[in-house]
Amino acid sequence: MIATIFQALGFHTVGRTLIASVLLMFVAAMANGQLIQTPALPVEEGKLVKFWLDEAWDKGIENNDKSVQVYEAAAPKDSNVNLAYAVNRLQHNRTSEALAVAESAKAADPKNLDAIILLIWLKVLQDDFDVALIEMQTFADTVKKTKFDRDKLDVAYRRLGRLLGYVNGPVAGQCNPDILLRTTERLNEGLDDRQRKILTDQSDAVIARYEQLLKDLSQEVHDSIVQNEAADKASKAALEKQNNVLETQTDQIQKQRNALELEGEQKISAVAQKLPPLEAQLQNVILEMDALRSQIQYNQSIVLFGQNNLQGSLLANNFNRFQLQQNYLLLNNLRSNANAIANAIAVEQSRINQIRAAYNAQLQRLNKDIKKSTNLQRRNTNKLVKIAEGPEPDAGKVKALNNRTSALRIYDPLPLEQYRVDFQRQLP
């Protein structure tokens, strides 16, 4: 069945020699290994362990996807097969998947101490401390009810001791104290002095390392505060000096701006003084033109009347026509005069606009300089206010203090390669 699964998924089938040589029982107990028990592994499913811990072991998307496909297709029920796949999941940084598989391994065999220990470690890794402590009680009950080789339990007590030290030290206060107390009591019940010492020594070692890390990293944070205080003093002096220079510079620019603005207003005023006389002349010409138009209308009516009146004097009619022509000529002259005055006004107005535009461009540059100087002063002042609040520690040091004193892997790194080797040693 397993060979069929590999073929269906497009993998090379494991050689007949390997399949035939997978033992029903792993051979001897593993000295200095991670596996507590000698796992019973079904022959047909044995090559799954080889695949996950050998062929698909190296990290990568392809190996990860193949591992998942094989597991989902095979759907193994054996506790140790699931345990091997959980190790594969951790190798590929799939912690949540590893937890789910470890739970399946324990469900398949509640007496599988390796599954229980791995499950406890994963629960602690995910900060599920109370559940992890209850699982420790489950481990104690299983050991008490079932006969195990006491020497093989040393690796379990070393890990549990480190986890207890972790709960009592780096993450102290994050679990229920009653559960922690009961768990500690249950783990110590029935232990001989040697294993009790293993449990205690490992716990004490974690706490001691935590305290030393806390001390070292706290000193680094303190040192960064001292360094930042000295840097703040130097920055304060530099910022205050720069602000004084900027203030003087801003005052000078402001005075220059005010003088330039006054000069521009004076030049505009000098040109603008020419406008009222021109505008008055233009108004007078317009009034003359209006009066002349009225006269032309009158002349036109007289001429028209003379043409229709046969009794009228020819001399009078000719005079009226002459008057009408003279008024038209005069009106044209007035129009020319009005256009000349209007052009003169436009020229002066254009000069005013040019002066205003030239001075506005200079004023805008000065305003920009003032704004730039003011903004820099404001930023410097904000920095000075922050410096006045006191030196702050280096953010990286604080982050290291938080991360490097609370991460489980600092105190109990899970030896995946050792798990892998422990399984592989049982395969020819």
Is the per-residue pLDDT at 400 higher than 70?
no
pLDDT at position 117: 96
pLDDT at position 23: 26
Is the per-residue pLDDT at 115 higher than 90?
yes
Question: Mean pLDDT across the stretch 58-64?
Answer: 96
Q: Out of 98-102, 193-197, 245-249, pick the least confident.
A: 245-249
Question: Mean pLDDT across the stretch 419-423?
Answer: 90
- Per-residue confidence band for 168, with pLDDT thresholds at 50, 70 and 90: very high
Question: Mean pLDDT across the stretch 121-144?
Answer: 96
Comparing 390 with 149, the larger pLDDT belongs to 149
Question: Mean pLDDT across the stretch 362-385?
Answer: 88
Q: Model confidence over 310-366: pLDDT tens digits?
A: 555 666 667 777 877 887 888 889 888 889 989 988 998 898 899 889 889 888 998
Comparing 28 with 243, the larger pLDDT belongs to 243
Comparing 104 with 262, the larger pLDDT belongs to 104
- Per-residue confidence band for 6, with pLDDT thresholds at 50, 70 and 90: low
Is the per-residue pLDDT at 258 higher than 70?
yes
- The residue assigned the tokens 């590999």 is 6
pLDDT at position 31: 39
pLDDT at position 57: 96
What the block records as the tokens of 295 is 């006269």
Comparing 187 with 324, the larger pLDDT belongs to 187
CA distance 61 to 34: 27
Question: Mean pLDDT across the stretch 35-52?
Answer: 81
Is the per-residue pLDDT at 305 higher than 80?
no
Q: Model confidence over 192-211: pLDDT tens digits?
A: 899 999 999 999 999 999 88
